[in-house]
A = this chain, B = another copy of it.
Amino acid sequence: MSQCLDCHELDLDAILEQVRPLLGKGAVADYIPALAKVSGNKLGMAICDIHGNIYSAGDANEAFSIQSISKVLNLTLAFNIYGEALWEKVGREPSGQAFNSLIQLELEKGIPRNPFINAGAIKVCDLLTTRLSAPKQRLKELLWDLCGTKSISSNRIVAKSEREFSDRNAAMAHLMKSFNNFENDVQQVLKVYFHACAVEMSCIELAKAFSFLANQGKSAITQSQVVSSRQSKQLNALLATCGLYDQAGDFAYRVGLPGKSGVGGGIVAIVPGECSVCVWSPELNHFGNSLAGSEALSIFTSELGRSIF
């Protein structure tokens, strides 16, 4: 397995300067007031290599709402608990549709296409709720395991705001329940879901947290073996095909790495065997992915000469 000899040679500041002209050309998520207030001109980037070395630039130390990036963390918990049986409840195919669509969910009788569209992520929270007495606490413990810090927390105001605008997600949960693919109280599960979405982390913390996917399942920070080497590859496969909403193909084409985005403007990507990388820029394109963030990752892989392809 080759090492990430080149990361220290990358000029992350220069990458950020190249994409800074994109600021002002996207739109900050505004479906809840708490997110709409974020300044659009934030820009940060951090890399964590498999030896735990950190490289960063811009607003890499500022915590932001990780939103859908949390879906990978909850999935990691559920995959550990359920193993392969998980896939009887959630599919692992790209949806070809918007992340919050109910159409496919109805046609496919309540089985969400994958764990990264909303319906699938809510189903994962349902499964966690069935087996864990305190799923929100368990997520915190996972982050501790991954980053070695207890300081990460969920923003209660954001979580509460999400729940006030949660009808689309509640519709999905009830639809799954009508197909006998939902086990717990809808509102209880949505609390777990929104708590995770409202977790706030910086680029550096996210790069650290996701180092296990670059390092055969073992955190490069704490050396904790979070999932098996095989499971780590499988999670990366899911990220590569389903991680960027309905723009997964474009991201594979332009960036060439497994990744996961959130409407808070963060994107995490993995160079298997080398490093994890996180960018943050709150303005989104119309797919809901960070505009400057995805461009920064495209430059990153071009300059590094790395992609999984």
Chain A residues with CB under 8 Å of chain B are: 2, 91-97, 101-104, 106-107, 113-114, 167-168, 170-175, 177-178, 182, 186, 232-234, 236-238, 240-242, 246-250, 252-253, 256, 258, 272, 307-309
Known contacts A93-B247, A171-B173; 19 further A-B pairs (Cβ under 8 A): A92-B253, A93-B248, A94-B94, A94-B96, A102-B171, A102-B175, A103-B106, A167-B175, A170-B174, A171-B172, A233-B256, A237-B249, A237-B253, A238-B249, A238-B252, A240-B240, A240-B241, A241-B252, A272-B309
Quick check: A174 and B168 within 8 Å, CB to CB?
Answer: yes
Question: What is the CA–CA distance of A233 and B253 in the complex, to the nearest angstrom?
Answer: 8
**6 smallest A-B Cβ distances: which pairs?**
A96-B96, A94-B94, A236-B309, A171-B174, A237-B252, A168-B178
Residues in B whose Cβ lies below 8 Å from that of A233: 256, 307, 309
| CB<8 Å pairs between A and B, sample of 18 | A2-B2, A92-B250, A94-B94, A102-B102, A102-B171, A167-B177, A168-B174, A168-B175, A170-B170, A171-B178, A234-B253, A236-B309, A237-B252, A240-B309, A241-B249, A258-B309, A272-B308, A272-B309
Identify whether the interface residues of A are mostly helix, strand, loop, or mixed.
helix
CB closest residue in chain B, given A229: B305
- Determine if A101 and B93 form an interchain contact, defined as CB atoms under 8 angstroms apart: no
Contact of A114 among B171, B177, B249, B307 (CB under 8 A): B249
Whether B249 and A92, one on each chain, are in contact in the complex, defined by CB atoms closer than 8 angstroms, is yes
For residue A104, give the distance in angstroms from its CB to the closest CB of chain B.
7
Least distance between A24 CB and chain B CB atoms (Å):
25
Residues of B contacting A168 in the complex (Cβ-Cβ under 8 angstroms): 174-175, 178
A76 to chain B, nearest CB (A): 15
CB neighbours (8 Å) of A107 from chain B are: 103
| B237–A256 CB distance below 8 A | yes
| A96 and chain B: residue at smallest CB distance | B96
Among B101, B114, B167, B308, the residue within 8 A (CB) of A308 is B308
Residues of B within 8 A of A241 (CB): 94, 240-241, 248-249, 252
State whether A253 touches B272 (Cβ < 8 A). Answer: no
Chain B residues within 8 Å of A309, by CB = 232-234, 236-237, 240, 258, 272, 308
The answer on a CB contact under 8 Å between B237 and A242 is no
Q: How far is B171's CA from A167's CA once the two chains are assembled, in angstroms?
A: 9
User: What CA separation (Å) do A3 and B238 show in the bound complex?
Assistant: 27
Give A175 to B101 CA distance when docked, in angstroms. 10
Residues of chain B contacted by A258 (CB below 8 angstroms): 309
